[in-house]
Structures are given as C-alpha cells and as structure tokens.
A and B are shown apart, each in its own frame.
Chain A
C-alpha cells in the first residue's frame, strides 16, 4: 500500500463499488416498485371485470356467469385466480383456473375496503391479491355484502425481476471493471513522469547524469527544479570546501616554509633545531587535517571516477619521481572499474599507497582494483590492494596505526601520514583497511575495501 498507484487504485475501486452498489439498489427498487404497481393495476382491472360480470339471480343472490371474458380465469393453473366469498368467509364462487387450489382467505375486510396483500399458496407460490368488500345493493333496495378477490401468482414477475437484476449486475460489473482497467492504465501514464524522475535521480546518484532533464509536466517542474538546485548547491558546497582547504593550505604552508628558511639562515644551533621541530609538528597537523576526505559515502551526489585512467596518471607521475629506482608496476584493474566518490579522495587512497610502495619496494609494486563481492564492475564497491617487495610494515606499527588511530607525534616513520590519510578516507566511505604481508612479493600489502553505495 506504499505506492501511490495502488493507493489510488484501491480508493477508486472502493468508490466505484459504492457508487455502482447504490445505483444498482436504487434501480432495482424502482424497477420492482414499477412492476408491482403495474401488477396492482392489472389486478384492479380484473376486479372491475369481475364486478361487471356479476349479476344477481332471481333469488337476489349474486352469481357469476358460466364463462368469463378473461381467458386466464378459465384456464386451469393459469396463475390468475378469482373468487367471491360471503362475509363469513364461505366461498360462493371460484374461477375455473383455481380448480384444485385453496386460495388463502386472508384477513377480513371492512365494507368498502380495497386491499392488496401478498400471500402464498399451499405449494409456496407467492401471490399478489386484491380483495374488495362490497355491499351489493339489490333492485329491491336491500343490500348484501360480498368479498371479491383476485390473485395472481408472482412467479413470472419475480423471474422478471431476477432477470433484470442479473442484467443490471452484469452490465455494472463489466462497466466497473473496464473503468478500473482504464484508470490503472491512465495512472501508469500519469505516474510515468514520477517514475522518470526516480530513474534520473538514480542515474545522478550513479553519476551517469549531471542533473534532472527538466522534461517534466508543469506540476513536477518545480520539484525537478528544486532538486536540481539542491544537487547544484551540494556540488558547490563540496567545491567550496575544497577551495577553502586549498587556500588554507597555501596560506598556512608558505609562511611555514618561509619561517623555516629564515631559521636556516640564522644557523641558530639548538634554538633553530627546536624551532624546526615545532614547524614540523605544525606542518604535520596541517597536512593531516587538510587531506581529510572531501566526500563520503552518504553524500548526495557521487560521480564515478574512472579508476584505470587515474591510476595510469599516478603511475606516470611516480615513474618520474622514482626514476632512479625504476619500480616495476604490476597493474591489475578490472575493466570499466569505477570508484563512486571524489576523484581527489581516490587519488589520495591510491597515491599514498603507491607512493609508500615505491618508497619501500626493492623493485616491484603491485596494484589491484577489483569490484567487491563479485558484483559487476560498474555499480559495486571496490577492493584496492597495493603490495611491494620491500621490508614490510612491522606488525606492532600496523596494529598501532589501525587500533589507536593517528597520533601525529607517534606516526610510523615513512608510512605514517599517508596511511593515516588512507585510513580516514576509507572509513569515511564506510570501508576498512587491512595491513598484512604480501604472499607473493613478501613486502607490505595494504588492502582497502570500500563497500558499494547503498541504494536508495
């Protein structure tokens, strides 16, 4: 029930059911009432016919003619019956059609009363009856009360009503079903832009798209525009952060460098040495703080970094820096591998690890980047492994770095700041760092695992 379309569909279905239910009930009632009225009118007609046919005989008693004009009263079991009773209920006459039936007498009537009732025959057939109590005035002025009654079975009528109901339900059900179907199709069409927004946001998250396309209906244009603004401001914020850091780095470190130069000019012995130590400390703090991760896994927009290209750039650079050593690079990168995050952060990860490896290796450096847990290369986490054939990192130093975290004044010489930065970045992307001995090369092997960006 969490989707808009199912909510709409259910509400519309309920509404349709209610509407059609009410309509059906009203129509049914109208049809039945009209039908019953028609029946009553017919019965009334028959009763009038009976009264017209009745004649007093010579003894002054009313008698019915041998044959009546209404053929249904003459046919046995036709469903239309008539009788004439005395006031005490004695049957004086009964139509031929009622041969073998006993028409229920019903409640007694007052003179002149004209009453419709529903009764049932002995076999359960429902009847609509019309009774009339009349005071028949004879020629001699005397009068005699009689009760005339006509009855018609309702079998036919009920069947007609049932047929009408079947038809009514059938048609309404068909119409309702068609409407629900049509509505759900309409909904698909209407909700298509929403689905498109969803798709485009996913594409932005995966970095395949810079902003929402803007090809949306008027009602969604505002949402799309605001989302784009949000994305832009997020990007701007991240850029501004980087820019500020850059400026801070430059404006702090150049004076530090100048201070050091001035000190060295003085050749101040112990004073100069102690000052230099303080400058080193300040430098380390600045370096460490300024190289903190720029992005993190929970950032709104992560642009995928083409890992292969960036590593190639790094290795080209490092070949220059370590030209004397000429390390042999063994690069194993899964085709199309991407890192979902900040390019600078990726370069920090790979750059620090490769730089350390080049520094410590005898000759060989291996870098491998594969997707985590065998997913496809495009939308997965990343496992970055850098190994060398150098002396490796002592277990205590590795443990200290991983457990205690970075203590600036106790950093592992040569590996310290670089690894601390790598650890920080890995952590900010929800990943982790493992330091071990490379089985093949024998030196340090550092494994950084970054989990996939969690969807949605």
Chain B
C-alpha cells in the first residue's frame, strides 16, 4: 500500500492533557478505517496500562491511516502521537522531528495552555506547519472567539482558517481532514544516496527484540537490507518492516517520507538509540541531525528493598532506558540503603512513572529517596563540581560557592487567579520577569529556582488556580545562592539519603518539619529513636519516637501457637519493608519524607 510521496502527510497532535488529543486521535482512526468498530477500545493510542490509568500519553506511538479526500485522491496519513505532560516536552519535540505538520488542539472552553505554547514554538523552530484547531465546540461554555484571540496573541498563529471541531461528537472532523491534506506539506524528496531513517523511538519487545519507530527521510528500507545505526556502527539485517494501523502490520517496503517500524534482530538494548539514523551498511550516507539528549532535571536514589534484586533492577533500568531516552542511571551506594542507582528524571511525574513501571512490570520493591536538582559548587581551588545528591555536598568549609539551577517559568492563568499565582511564585523565591494580558488569560514569566519548581509546584499551581493555570518551564541558568546542607540524624547516625540542600533562611523551618514528619513515619521500637536535623554540627531540630512500653502477646496456650506464629510472621513481613539503620527500622516512606513536608 505504498503511496506516492506527494500523497503522504506526517503529522502530530499538540495538545494539553484534557484538551481532547486522545479523543481526536480515536476519531481520526475511526474515520480512516484503521480499526473495526468493535476493536475500538477507547483511546487506542495510549497503550501502556499506566497511560490508560493516568489518562495521559507518555510514549510516542504512530498510526498509519488511509484517507480518501474530496478530490478523489487517497492519502497516507501518519499520525505520530506525542506526550501531553509538562515533564515530557522533550519527547514532544522528538516526535515533531519526524513530522511535516502538527495540529494544535486547543480547548475552546479553556483557552491556550502554557505547555502548548512552548511546544508550538519548538514546532515552528523545526519548520513544522502548525494548524490551530479549536476542540470541544459542543460545550456550552465554548468561547471560540476569545480562544482564537489567545492563539493569535500568545502564539502568533493566524486563525483566519481555524478549524472548529468536536472530537467527541465528530463535528468538523471531515473539514479538519481536508485542511490537513491541503495545508500540511508532503515530505520533501531527498537527493541523498542510499537510505536515511531517523529513529524516533525504540522499545524492547520480548519476541522481536528491539523494535524501532522510524521516519524514512531518504531511500527505502526492506526486509533483507543490511543496515547500521550510525552512532553504533554494528551491521544488522532487517527482518521485518511494517506500520501500525494501529495494529502491527508487515509491509514490503518503507519508502522515503513514510513512517513505520523496523525489526533487525537487534538484541542488545543500546543497539538502536533514539535520535540515531539508520543507514545502509558500508555506505557513505551521512546521519540526520537527530536531536539533543534530554537533560534530567531531578535526581533521586532508587534502591531495591531486597539487596538480592540489585542485578534484576539494573537489567530492568537498562530495558526502560531503551524506550526512555531521558532516563539516566548510575550505580550509587548509600550507608543507609545499600546498593542502588542514582537516577535522573525529567520531573516528578517521570520519576513516578519509572518507579511504577519498575514495580509493576519488573516486580521490584523499591525504596526511593527524595529527589534533588543538580547544583554547581565551587571549591577553594576554584574547581567547579556538579552535585546531584545533597549528601555529597562537602560541608567542611572547602566549598566557597554553591549555585542553584534557575528555571524560566511561563504560566498562563485567568486574571481571577493572578494574585494567588503571583503569591505562590514569590513564596517559591520567584522573581517576576514579565506579565502580559491577552484574550481571557494573563501570560506570566518568572525566574524560580528549579528546586522550588520540580517537586510539587505544578500541583500547587493547579490548586491555587482551581486547575485553570497552565505551566511550562525550562532550565535557564545557574545562580549563586546562600544554600546549606541539612542532615537528618537518627540515633546520632547521619542518614545520607535524607540530606537536603536548602536556602539558609528556610533551613531551620525545613529541618523542624522534616524531623516531625519523620517522627510521624517511624514506628515505635524497642528503644527510643532520636531524630535530629543539623547543619554541620549545629542541631537545628530534635524530636524522639518513644520506645514501645510493651509488645507482648497476652495469651498463648497449646492451641494458639500456629495462629500466634502467623501474627509474628506478618509483623516481621511488615518490617522487611523497612530498612534497618543501626538498630532502627525505618519505613520506606520515610525516605521520601521531604516530599510530604508542606512548603
């Protein structure tokens, strides 16, 4: 079913969560006959269980559709799905690289959201044609005029021909498809010799090995072709090429301009890195520009609660990394938690997802330490070091300067909540850079320390704006700040994985809050448990979990033994989920206590 390159349209949908991207994708698949009616599980593109449950898209997927336009011609439409959460903006731009156009879907009742603005800018930078689409026109609160104004004023796109649709009812879908074919350009023919296919995504399949989603920019790929991933250099023979409709279907050839998958017996998980180019073996064909690696914004220690699982965890992380270019990890040792991994994530949601996948798909039981951003420190010799684990911060006086990452934060919020949002930003040590009133929203720009943004800022922003504010942020620069390390000591022992780097003015309050939240989390034991927070040698907070007075089974006669033993076993099982530090059993949640501290 190969199509002439002029009849191919590769596009993505840019939309904020809730703005109806998945519903629209479903509608397009239905319209273009990708699936029989009965196969239409709702939201087909969100294939991972986790995505389904959280109602968000994490990984890009693609689907090839066949559309017969009003002019009688049949077009091949390749929809490349993109994630819709602030943590995953990097994956969005990756998907955009494979496209020639994008639909910017905006909720006609809510208006433009900050993240869509940022994504649109990346799309425009990449030369992708952006078509604004107003969705949810069926809602009585829809205000297409106001929202169109926002699209023009905030993003700078003309809305003269804006398509108005309701993905839910199907209204306007035909017009959208016509516009799509008309306005999104066909892929450009390349005059490069050989073949060039950009790896948009790779994942590990238990039966096929590594499967790569590619966009062919030049030449053709077929079964039997001998190829190499440019940066890896190892030759493989293609076993299978195909497309998703969204079912996986083999095809004979992937032509220039097309999107599809390649299976080439690559077993080893670094054999097909995302962003790399597939070219024919022994050819002189150059690589495509690819894309820059996503930089993790937060780092946390992930430890198997059973140390025997260390190797299994390494393998699991390696597999996750194949599908998740933004995930970083390296071995880390903690006095408290033993052997584990320091992992880098794009944000909190990313971290939670990785954690959940490790636990669910790989059956691992994990202990996670509170995440930290990366700091730059300068020592007395003038050397600059990067620190992503607060316990590594030398507090013996060798450090002369600590610099923290500052994020450029863009927020769109209706004027009613502007006061709340500004207050929140200032509370997070933010500095206002600009404010612009437009349509029904205010566009705000703040510089805020990354450490104040990555953890719970998004949740707080949503709550102070009743869900109306939207957020986009990115790393901007490092800046010197009066930061100190706060250590937590349990019965006099420093717990390395509980150390935090905090602004000096807030250190005492944070230390007190940490101590009291640890007190609430640590169960009573045989001995008193002293909890202290300290800066260097100076104790700034202390509290005690008093020892159990008595832990005694009142009655036990001949008949009770088996049952009483089961109770003890259950108790012991509960303790297994704790880490022993010295004599003290610390529950896993305590290592995340810093997160539960209300800032």
Q: Does A pair with B?
A: no
A positions within 8 Å CB-CB of B: none
